[in-house]
Homo-oligomer: A and B are copies of this chain.
């Protein structure tokens, strides 16, 4: 026994007291150390409120799990998350202790990539078990457990079971080998092809964490307008260096393949998919790829579209082209994602009909490791489109949905437009292919037609801007895409609420108005850009700002006037039987939703119907008055967003608050520009006065026509 003097006991007491005080004080001490610049995304892991911390800490005393590459990442993420959220040092231990979080794998009762999170007793200790069949499932479970805390839900008596409904959850990068990003508004590519494989940016690890946290399991690294160079050996080694970062997060890499690569690289005279030399070239190339990247995912192909080479150059159809690549990939377990986005300068038919016209005839001819990747709508990522008529039309084909996360037509890098509701609208759209309830979601998750190879792709909005997506709120589109890829029947409102809590603040006084603002933002943008089902009224090339007057481009379907068909009498694209009859590409029940302008959802009105300016819409107004009222309401609503945000400064760090405020000011100004330019132009057609109470455009039409933006981003 030792004897302690009173003096030493007093010192010891002081020390203990100090540790407690220091621990309590530390969040305040450490918080201001780092500016909030948006880099952390929704994995922000700032300390929760004291009352929540007290409630959570007993359920997060330690972390246990295996030491495979993926499980190491899962444990590290749990540690990072719990350390940050609960302001503690969470040990990684080997044996269960009370309150531990335990990762268990090889649980055959859980679906492939799924997980269960349950309160259990292990060796007499109350622990939270995250059990999964695969390492990847456990990683997803770890992120799910952290989300529980990030969104301030209970950790008591947990009983969560979840698994992704879609097999391939893919992000497509339209990133070029020179570092630019097609339709990118967030800086340069995060892939530094030039210095890879030597220099691997640590940022890629954070990118992989972000993708894994929302369940993404595939990334296409290069633009669909592909260069063959990405298939050369030096570039394959670069791709493998990226794969080495993504692999331990359960993410496979894919490449966009240029169909003419056998000519460009192989020196062949042809890329004809039926030519044995071409087939042999792809087989050898595929072998080479898998030697370098053993878990390579496969190819994404844009063929015979907007100048890209393809099987049509040799009189072959898309199935013949896709199947040739699929045969090369098949022995390695790879797949082909073949894009349905085709339209032709030689086809005089309605552009909205061309993809269906070209693909429906080859139904049943695609190999089983091919997915047909179909954009959400029949044109091109407009603020609003009806679902693509190919959905449900090819039940024997693996149909995959492609949405755009980057906002080419929705305000690019500066407008707050939350796309969750747009994705949800497509996913929940009913094709009636097998009767009521044949939603796009059920087609792409394979349940409607019994497919097991299922997929969804989002065109990335990620660049090397410090906050990844230029506008902080555009992070929400990335997040929502991942969450809906995991569960295509999820609610975009719930997802928005989770994102706001994880990214900014869980305070209900903040969450509520911000989620409301997000949920209405897409309708707002649709109104100030293309109300009542108008489409593609954007300026030429960069698609920035309004250009409804443009009517002189080489190909008719490149012109805004092609889509609005406005003249002195009326406006709109007649896609009924009296017009292009695109409606006939839908099932009769789906078509019926849009056949009668008197009863239909008028947000699709001018997509399907050409109507006189004087036509009376459901509100009782004339079409002209309604159109102008919509533009005006959209512009006003953009101002409302700015004002709503201005009142929320107390909840957000100054740097992000200021950046978002600046973007909202730009958006309000540009919404007004859209309104004014569009009204000025359409008034020059209709010749009608503005409805009472609606202000005239600030400038005359010539002013808006004269605006010119040679340095608009997104030009390539």
Contact = CB atoms under 8 A, between A and B. Distances in A.
Interface stretch (A19-27, A106-114, A366-374, A484-492): A19-27
Nearest to A654: B202
Contact of A663 (B25, B199, B200, B655): B199
Contacts of A176: 711
Which of A25, A176, A195 has the most C-beta atoms of chain B within 10 angstroms of its own C-beta? A195
Interface residues of A, number: 45
Contacts of A663: 195, 198-199
Interface string A448-464: 00000000000000001
A710 interface: yes
Nearest to A669: B198
Contact of A194 (B22, B202, B711): B711
Nearest to A412: B194
A195 B35 CA distance: 21
Interface in A691-716: 710-713, 715
Interface in A94-142: none
A108 to B, nearest CB: 40
A466 to B, nearest CB: 8
Contacts of A665: 198
Given A30-B30, A199-B659, A199-B662, A194 B18 contact: no
A413 B193 CA distance: 13
A18 B29 contact: no
A244 to B, nearest CB: 14
Contacts of A29: 22, 26, 29-30
Interface in A9-38: 13-15, 17-18, 21-22, 25-26, 29-30, 33-35, 37
Contact of A711 (B26, B34, B35, B193): B193
A33 B83 CA distance: 11
A526 interface: no
Nearest to A708: B229
B666 A202 contact: no
A64 to B, nearest CB: 24
Interface centre among A177, A194, A202, A655 (most CB of B within 10 A): A194
A383 interface: no
A547 interface: no
Contacts of A34: 33-34
Given A18-B21, A195-B413, A464-B187, A229 B711 contact: yes
Contact of A414 (B179, B195, B466, B662): B195
Contacts of A26: 29
Q: Which of A35, A193, A466 has the most CB of B within 10 A?
A: A466
Contacts of A414: 195, 199
A666 B198 contact: yes
A178 interface: yes
A236 interface: no
Contact of A712 (B33, B187, B194, B200): B194
Interface in A251-280: none
A179 B713 contact: yes
Interface in A45-97: none
A301 to B, nearest CB: 21
A188 interface: yes
Interface string A149-179: 0000000000000000000000000001111
A231 to B, nearest CB: 14
A147 to B, nearest CB: 23
Nearest to A180: B180
A466 B710 CA distance: 27
Contacts of A195: 413-414, 662-663, 666
Contacts of A715: 178
5 contacts: A177-B710, A195-B663, A198-B665, A202-B655, A229-B711
Closest 3 CB pairs of A and B: A18-B18, A199-B662, A198-B662
Given A22-B25, A178-B710, 8 more contacts: A13-B14, A18-B21, A34-B34, A178-B711, A179-B711, A188-B188, A195-B414, A199-B662
